[in-house]
Structure 1
Amino acid sequence: MKMIPRGLAVVLRNAPSKQLQFSSIPNNRDNVILTRLKHKDWLTPKEATKLLNSLTHPSSSLTFFHLYSSRKDFNPTEPFCTLLLSKLAQSKHLLEIHTLLQTLKPRRFSDNFFFTLIKTYAHVFNRIDLALHTLFQMPSFYQCLPSSRTFNFVLNLLVVSKLYDVAHGVYRSAPKLGVGLDACSMNILIKGLCSRGELDAAFRVFDEFPRLGFEPNERTYTTLMKGLCEAGRVEEAFGLLERMERDGVGVDAVVFNVLIGGLRKQGRVEEGKGVLERMVRRGCYPNEGSYNEVLCALVDVKRFCEAKEVVVQMGLEGFLPSFVGYKGLVLGFCEKGLVGDVDWVVRDMVRHGFVPRMGMWKQIVKCVVLDGCVCFDGVLED
């Protein structure tokens, strides 16, 4: 069996084998379906899959598999096993999934099945170790080479989980796994390096794109820009924007939002507003994130009246301010004792489904009491 390279610093807790446990049948409909399996009439794989799909309770799938596997016409095809895997995941039967794999290991399935299995381990059970273990078992134990999609999913999973050293080890293992790296793999590696603060290393990977025959795309540039902005190197991020434009790479609102966010962190509010205006001139229309970045930037520097104007503009454009933006605006107007503006913001946020929290209400009440004015009756009644 092919094992994960020793250098990958992950402790794999292999789920132990366990006999299948059969749950009680939850309803008559499932009873009827399971009774069908006790008949001696021949079932095609397609019919078996259809019956499995008809079960109304995921736990019934265990009994179904037990009955079906005892029949002479037992033929667990990939569609059947994929469906069974889904039902076992719904009922949170991790050990039973492991037992299913042990039962089916002589059979060969496609990358699609293992992609589903790996996603199940990661998203349903939060077992990154099992997802990684499955990836490395695929070539020799399951006789199935991982696709770039499956490989990149695991690589990105590790980066998102901040297991950067493990991600680097997986990246280096691509040739042994029979995986051809692509631009997506490189982008994930760049994301991991930027998240770790290793920007110089990220740019070295970026410089490798032409040699490997890859074209950097919008995601490549956006990831590098975000890394630069988080490191306070905003001017270099704008330099990348110019390079994107020279190279003909499409620039959308996401790119500009990163730049506005970078300027916000440095308190450069006017420049952030200028970027917003530049977007419109270029025909790249701002989205909700663009306005929220500017809104929060204005709140940060206590320019609350201008921030309120942004909220008004967002309403006209059909965009929704963030709760953080609303909160900052309410607390800011409370601090300045502007009860009328506090009233307007609270009513607007409630109208959009946001509810002020206890800390905000304390400041609101304090502001109203000090002003000697009660103007929130309508809001409180709602």
Structure 2
Amino acid sequence: MIPRSLFSVNTTKARHAIFASLLTSPTIIIRTPSSSTILLLPSSSFSSISSCPVPPQDTHTLNRLNQKDWLATNEVLKFIEALEDPSSVIAFLDRYAKRKDYKPSEALYTLVVDKLAQAKMFDAIEDVMHRIKAPKHRCRLSDDFFYNVIRVYGNVAGRVSKAIDTLFDMPNYNCWPAVRTFNFALNLLVSAKRFDLVHGVYMSAPKLGVEIDACCLNILIKGLCEYGKLEDAFHVLDEFPKQRCEPNVRTFSTLMHALCDRGKIEEAFGLLERMEKEGIFPDTITFNILISGLRKERRVEEGMELLERMKHKGCYPNSGSYQEVLYGLLDSNKFVDAKEFMHRMISEGLDPSFESYKLIIRGLSKKNLLEDVDWALKQMVLQGFVPKMGMWKRILRSMFPRKSRYGSISCEEILEN
């Protein structure tokens, strides 16, 4: 006997309505002996599956939740990993939550967030975060989970405000941020140039149970320097002992960089002396900042001297150190000296940049030093760079300034032929 929950459909219009409904909810259709009658049975009569639409390629995976055997957490994770369409993740959660063995875990939610992040379904991640707050879906979550969510919002989605909201919302999940997570969120604001929010987040550290460390103060100094508030940045430097922290090489390097950008090279060297007195040893980045500052002031010889001084300090220069000195020589139109310095770099296993070759060939061509140009071209090709048409034109113009001795042939005509 057919139960009353079934109903008959005889008209074509009604049939079309039923077939349309199949696109949005799973159903089971039974044809009666009479070919003109279709019986529509709600799928809930056969199994407790979700009414969410299921992409065809994931139907088999989701239907595996219909099995009555107890599912281990690892099995559930494998099911989620097997889903091809990210939109199936939410449908999977809905169905899994209806099972008696439903047991949400941090591993489950982490995988879900990662799946949705890869598909750029950031609104769906917000829905999942709201879902977790419900008693049925709660589980113990660690700082690592929220660090990942904040990273996704900040670095992947570009939703910095949402990342900060998540930081402040952590206590509502019975989880308090570690200093690493707090500093990461603070750095997100600085990187996004949201300087208007940096101070407020910094001042919220006690409320969130975060103990300020040197990394946090360094981020604050970085933000103030980029915001143009150099004086305030130096005030933060004075905060280190008050917070029972010690400044490090990054602290001083950040301040030196800001000073050099403003042409205050002497004050930057003053910081170098201060850090050495405090027993903080400068690294290669510190010296590169100072060499770059000297280059901007056209003090190339001092930059070369500082390059040698680095070695006596037990800090070995890298390609960036040499490159800054080389650019300084090129900026000063000392092309012959630049060629010799480039030769030194190559002999020490360092590769000059393409821009360096471009500038030195231009300068040597203007001085009609063709042998030196030939050397630069050969080194450039050996390094794997390909001279461009503009470079060849400049070289040929130096060889044929106006007319060739063979007639009125211009360098453009030589290139064309």
Given the two structures, how large is their TM-score scaled by the length of structure 2? 0.76
Does the residue aligned with 1:169 lie in a helix, a strand or coil?
helix
Aligned to 1:113: 145
Following the alignment from structure 2 to structure 1, what is the Cα–Cα distance between the partners of residues 394 and 54?
58
Following the alignment from structure 1 to structure 2, what is the Cα–Cα distance between the partners of residues 42 and 112?
29
- My pick for the range that moved more, 335-344 or 290-299, is 335-344
- My pick for the range that moved more, 86-95 or 321-330, is 321-330
- Which residue identity does 2:234 align to in structure 1? F
Q: 1:193 to 1:70 in 2, by over 3 A?
A: same
Are 1:128 and 2:160 matched, yes or no? yes
Q: 1:38 to 1:310 in 2, by over 3 A?
A: farther
Are 1:180 and 2:211 matched, yes or no? yes
Aligned to 2:122: 94
Check whether the contact 1:193–1:199 (CA below 8 A) recurs between aligned residues: yes
Q: 1:78 to 1:352 in 2, by over 3 A?
A: farther
Check whether the contact 1:334–1:364 (CA below 8 A) recurs between aligned residues: no
**Count of residue pairs brought into register by the alignment:** 349
Alignment of 1:161-310 (within 5 A): 161-310=192-341
**Structure 1 residues 266-321: Cα deviation after superposition (integer angstroms, max 9, x where no partner):** 01000000000111222211111111111111111111222223333332333332
Check whether the contact 1:121–1:127 (CA below 8 A) recurs between aligned residues: yes
Following the alignment from structure 1 to structure 2, what is the Cα–Cα distance between the partners of residues 330 and 36?
68
Check whether the contact 1:145–1:177 (CA below 8 A) recurs between aligned residues: yes
Structure 2 residue runs without a partner (length 5+) = 1-49, 405-414
Q: 1:199 to 1:74 in 2, by over 3 A?
A: same
Among 77, 90, 94, the residue aligned to 2:105: 77
- Which residue identity does 2:180 align to in structure 1? R
Check whether the contact 2:357–2:380 (CA below 8 A) recurs between aligned residues: yes
- Which residue identity does 1:302 align to in structure 2? N
- My pick for the range that moved more, 246-255 or 260-269, is 246-255
Q: 1:307 to 1:180 in 2, by over 3 A?
A: same
**Structure 1 residues 92-138: Cα deviation after superposition (integer angstroms, max 9, x where no partner):** 11111111112212324221111100100111111112111211222
Over the matched positions of the two proteins, sequence identity in percent amounts to 49
- My pick for the range that moved more, 212-221 or 171-180, is 171-180
Between structure 1 and structure 2, the one with the greater Rg is 2
Higher-RCO chain (CA-CA 8 Å, sequence separation at least 6): 1
Aligned to 2:181: 150
Q: 1:24 to 1:252 in 2, by over 3 A?
A: same
Following the alignment from structure 1 to structure 2, what is the Cα–Cα distance between the partners of residues 87 and 154?
22
Alignment of 1:35-74 (within 5 A): 35-55=63-83, 58=86, 60-74=88-102
Structure 1 residue runs without a partner (length 5+) = 1-18, 374-379
Given the two structures, how large is their TM-score scaled by the length of structure 1? 0.83
Following the alignment from structure 1 to structure 2, what is the Cα–Cα distance between the partners of residues 261 and 66?
58
